[in-house]
Structure 1
Amino acid sequence: MEKFKFIDLFAGIGGFHLAFHSLGGECVFASEIDTHARKTYQHNFYSINPELFEKGMFNDDIRKISPQEIPDFDILCAGFPCQPFSQAGYKRGFNDNHKSERGNLFFNIVDILEIKRPKAFFLENVRGLISHDKGQTFKIIREILEEELNYSFYYQIVKASDYGLPQLRPRTFIIGFRDEGFLKGFNFPPTKPLKFNMSDVWEGQCSREIGFTLRVGGRGSNINDRRNWDSYLVDGEVRQLMPEQGKKMQGFPDSFEFPVSKKEAMKQLGNSVAVDAIRECGKSLLNHLNIIELQSLDMKKTKNKGEWTEIYSFFKVINDKKLTLSDKDLNNTQNYFSVSKVSTLNLDKDIILTDTDLVFIENKITKQRKQVNVRELINKDILQDLSHQIKQNKGTFEIDDIVAIQNELGISIIKGGRSNQKSDIVLDISQDNFCKTNEGFGIKSYLGSKPTLLNASGKTNFIFKVGNLSKGDLDNINSTKTLKDRLNKIIEFGGIFYFHQIEQETMSYNLRIIDSMMPETVAQMLLEFFVERNNILSENLVSVYNKGLLDNITDDLSSLTIKVKRFLVSVLLGFFAGTKWDGKYASNGTIVVKDDGEQLAFHIIDLSSLEDYLFENIVFDTPSTTRHRYGKLILENDGNLYFKLNLQLRFR
């Protein structure tokens, strides 16, 4: 690939940035929390990439930004924090508490990969990652990346000395690809001879050809001490490493500067990646991407059920020339909008419908048109066959007929809406005196598994303080295998749950826009679901109200019902959990594709039907406890016990 874009997470002083910039890449987003490292990063990269800093894309805490706010990119690079996995650290892995969560920062990478879907990723961590917790930590990482996110997964222990630098520094490199398909076979590059040795680094005769691994602490040990890493015998004298030598051992150029103290510079070098090792493996990554992209020119693009359904819905609107409205029970009302134009936010063309079998394909910018007889391409039988194929297939798959129709129309619908958009299809609609142009609709499909209303993430964790338990109960409860059993034990031991807060303030802010007590309301309903397995929202709310769990909220049941309905519509049409909401709907309706292929729609012109439909058809769901890091009792630094539950909502 030619020019490519990458992001640099847990960036340190920019080893990944330096390597991928030299390969022709543009860094469009970077994140680093350490103040001193940020100073060094900006000092060295502002001149080559001023937009990164001027556009506010140098983030200081990856936990405080939503993936939707990150610009699109091709490759995710991350030397995610090694302390929880390192032999020099506490080996806490994924079991950190909900405030520090250093190990759990891996899940911020997961969230970004899931939402942004880049072509590839390149992760770096300590060698001990593979064996941590008897291999369980690495197993979880691999399962999430391969099985949940559908990326390929390649790893290797790489030493800096494998690619020319005179330093041991064994590290775990993990590389994966999104669209590898049947083209398996990425290989890490062959090793290279040393470009120079430690005598060259010291500019004097050194007793070692390859140096020790640079570290963060423990400087000044005796040269004969087994813990020594920074003292060398040079020309018969003991000398201690300084930033000048550390830069060379890590592959940083002489021009790289440290606007910090020497002590801080050595710490930053000890935390950095070996630039040459990253660069060489990065070359192989890019070469493999080129092969994948060349192959994809000769292969039809595979899609999942949701993506194929968006295209099916697009074609069905063209065929029907109308959008039939639904009642609260998902029945055809015989009432409909006439449709005169069909497009998506990402498509560069509009499909203009007429009273005949002809449609006009119009370029949105040039307004150039071409005429197509759509009846030869799309009809009831073809649509029925397409819906059947979508239902029968699993995973990602190809549908030749849909590809052929797109080719004939001269359009390519990759995805109707982006991850930060609520509209999958955009229509010009009319009914009597009502007329709307460029009206956005989301699409929910029953052709596959039940669609989600709110996807689980770290942003949807609700934290409860657990009272009336002793610290001695923690291990007993957490040793229980399932989440349900842990909750039952807490209750059996007399534990009492008090809603504390939502883990991410943005989600709490969005709920408070709906109602000041909405975080508390949703929290109590969520607890009711996990404890009593009462998953249907309408029934759940009645139970919570009757148990008096919302006594601190003065509303009666009818008022609460109205507010919960408003919450559901706001999730459907308005906000994302990780993005601060302005209170406005980003889409004004939703299309539901039923399991028989029939397509019905809701629009805010009849808001009550949409509210009633959601209230009776949305259920709580149980997402992965490992991936979304919830479901265990946590002893916090304040001496209190806490328990996290995750909110995911699905259509039933």
Structure 2
Amino acid sequence: MNRGEWGEPYAALRLLGDRKLFLSDEDGNANPNEWMEVLKVVRQETADRLVTYNCNVNDMNVDVVVNERHVSTIPAEYFLRIAESLKEDICGAKGRSFNVSDEVLEFIKGAEMHHLKAKSIEKSDIFISARDPRNSIVRENIGFSIKCEFGENPTLFNTAKASAAKYRISGMNSQLMDRINSIIDAKGHASVTGRCALLRENGCDLSFVGYEYAPRAKCCAFQENLDQINPRLPYVIERMMWNHFMSGQTEIDIESVTNRIITENPCDISLGESKYPYMVKMFLYSAYCGMTASTLWDGRSNVKGGYITVKETGEVVANYALESESFKNFLFKHCYLDFPSTDPKHGDYGRIYEENGEYYFKLNFQVRIK
């Protein structure tokens, strides 16, 4: 598996060894004064295989239960030792995908982790029961998705054909279209910024039409979803893409991009310094809660708890999405725009095309957490 995928069993091992889950502050660091005592870890490996790890209160052992049948008891220190070995294997590995040491694999198998990538249920990769030591309140079966900093930065909002902003071009002809579409970068991929620059140089005017049609939803699902969050949001997201590609601005972190939107005030609103960040935070939070570009979203959240970050240091920290203001601020500070492949099967943008005698151009994006 790749580094991010190995991070999922690592998180489970670490939690069972440490028996503590530290909560993150708004900067993404573990808050040493806020943590939960881990009582139970549950992995739904497949539809018919549920593995539960019960942390014994009276000793430092972990009871392993598969489908309600007790299988074994393992000292918690073993989980911690193997977690450290797995971290060393991940950090020292070469290549995109790799295996780990026989010692780690043997322990993982003995601990009943037969499927290293657990079945994701309502965006949750792992479920935890934990006690808050400050008030002794026990929270049962909190669902977390797992993001790992060992590998690539995790994606918050995935690109899709339906997330593309569509523009109508004036001042275009077939010869110029062919010339612009021939611009590629050093790797042989479409140079979207280069094509946008040539559009500007030739005085072409682009007018925003809307977002792409989503066949499965039988409508422009992304535009409908953004409109549900805030009617101005379709234009805010479009301007974020426009500023990056068409104005030559290099900012990609969400906070800086939003500050530029505040200055431009494309929606001509009052109190933009508070309204624009609020809109963008709601978009990021909605993306985390299950909103996508290709499927109509009813506004209901799939989130049961939040997400766990495996940091580059091996620390495991949690963000509670249910504590939404703090979580929204975290996303706002740590998310950035990323620009995916222009391949027709993926982002499908950056190419001029003709349709019913008119010329069109699309821009697209995704959002990652740094």
Matches within 5 A, 1:318-333: 318-333=16-31
Picking from 97, 111, 114, the partner of 1:396 is 97
1:317 alignment counterpart: 15
Separation of aligned partners in 2, 1:541 and 1:468: 30
Separation of aligned partners in 2, 1:351 and 1:384: 19
Q: 1:507 to 1:436 in 2, by over 3 A?
A: farther
Separation of aligned partners in 2, 1:440 and 1:412: 20
C-alpha deviations, 1:392-442, integer Å up to 9, x for none? Answer: 322222123332222222331331244x74111111123226433221111
Q: 1:499 to 1:412 in 2, by over 3 A?
A: same
* 1:407 counterpart = 2:136: no
* 1:507 counterpart = 2:222: yes
1:440 alignment counterpart: 143
Q: 1:511 to 1:645 in 2, by over 3 A?
A: same
* 1:498 counterpart = 2:207: yes
CA contact (8 A) 1:524 1:550 kept: no
Picking from 383, 399, 415, the partner of 2:83 is 383
What secondary structure is seen at the aligned counterpart in 2 of 1:378? helix
Shift of 1:648: 1.2
* 1:360 counterpart = 2:63: yes
Q: 1:582 to 1:345 in 2, by over 3 A?
A: farther
- In structure 2, the gaps of 5 or more residues are 185-190, 215-219
2:321 alignment counterpart: 604
Shift of 1:357: 1.8
Task: Tell me the amino acid that sits aligned with residue 314 of structure 2.
Answer: G
What secondary structure is seen at the aligned counterpart in 2 of 1:337? strand
Task: Tell me the amino acid that sits aligned with residue 582 of structure 1.
Answer: D
Shift of 1:619: 1.1
Q: 1:650 to 1:605 in 2, by over 3 A?
A: closer
2:42 alignment counterpart: 343
* 1:456 counterpart = 2:162: no
Picking from 124, 130, 140, the partner of 1:423 is 124
Separation of aligned partners in 2, 1:374 and 1:507: 49
Shift of 1:540: 0.7
What secondary structure is seen at the aligned counterpart in 1 of 2:79? coil
Separation of aligned partners in 2, 1:382 and 1:336: 22
Cα RMSD for the two superposed structures: 2.2
Separation of aligned partners in 2, 1:548 and 1:569: 22
Task: Tell me the amino acid that sits aligned with residue 515 of structure 1.
Answer: N
Separation of aligned partners in 2, 1:317 and 1:601: 11
Matches within 5 A, 1:200-599: 303-334=1-32, 335-346=34-45, 347-355=49-57, 356-364=59-67, 367-375=68-76, 377-379=78-80, 381-393=81-93, 394-399=95-100, 400-418=102-120, 421-431=122-132, 432=135, 434-469=137-172, 473-481=176-184, 482-503=191-212, 504=214, 505-531=220-246, 532-551=249-268, 556-587=272-303, 588-599=305-316
Shift of 1:519: 1.9
Q: 1:592 to 1:579 in 2, by over 3 A?
A: same
Separation of aligned partners in 2, 1:435 and 1:498: 54
C-alpha deviations, 1:333-357, integer Å up to 9, x for none? Answer: 1201222111123351211112222
Separation of aligned partners in 2, 1:543 and 1:445: 30
Picking from 635, 639, 652, the partner of 2:354 is 635
What secondary structure is seen at the aligned counterpart in 2 of 1:341? strand
Shift of 1:516: 2.0
Q: Which has the higher contact order (CA 8 A, sep 6+)?
A: 2
- Superposition TM-score, scaled by structure 1 size: 0.50
Separation of aligned partners in 1, 2:44 and 2:227: 29
What secondary structure is seen at the aligned counterpart in 2 of 1:389? helix
Shift of 1:388: 2.5
Question: What is the percent sequence identity of the aligned residues?
Answer: 27
What secondary structure is seen at the aligned counterpart in 2 of 1:600? strand
CA contact (8 A) 2:261 2:276 kept: no
Task: Tell me the amino acid that sits aligned with residue 107 of structure 2.
Answer: I
Larger strand percent: 2
2:187 alignment counterpart: none
C-alpha deviations, 1:317-347, integer Å up to 9, x for none? Answer: 1112221001111222120122211112335
Larger radius of gyration: 1
What secondary structure is seen at the aligned counterpart in 2 of 1:416? coil
C-alpha deviations, 1:575-619, integer Å up to 9, x for none? Answer: 233333232222220111111111111103432222122112111
C-alpha deviations, 1:63-96, integer Å up to 9, x for none? Answer: xxxxxxxxxxxxxxxxxxxxxxxxxxxxxxxxxx
Deviates more, 1:320-329 or 1:554-563: 554-563
Q: How many residues in Structure 1 have an aligned counterpart in Structure 2?
A: 344
Deviates more, 1:592-601 or 1:514-523: 514-523
Q: 1:465 to 1:370 in 2, by over 3 A?
A: same
Task: Tell me the amino acid that sits aligned with residue 335 of structure 2.
Answer: I
Shift of 1:315: 1.0
CA contact (8 A) 2:44 2:51 kept: no
CA contact (8 A) 1:589 1:603 kept: yes
- Superposition TM-score, scaled by structure 2 size: 0.85
CA contact (8 A) 1:312 1:386 kept: yes
- In structure 1, the gaps of 5 or more residues are 1-302
Q: 1:512 to 1:585 in 2, by over 3 A?
A: same
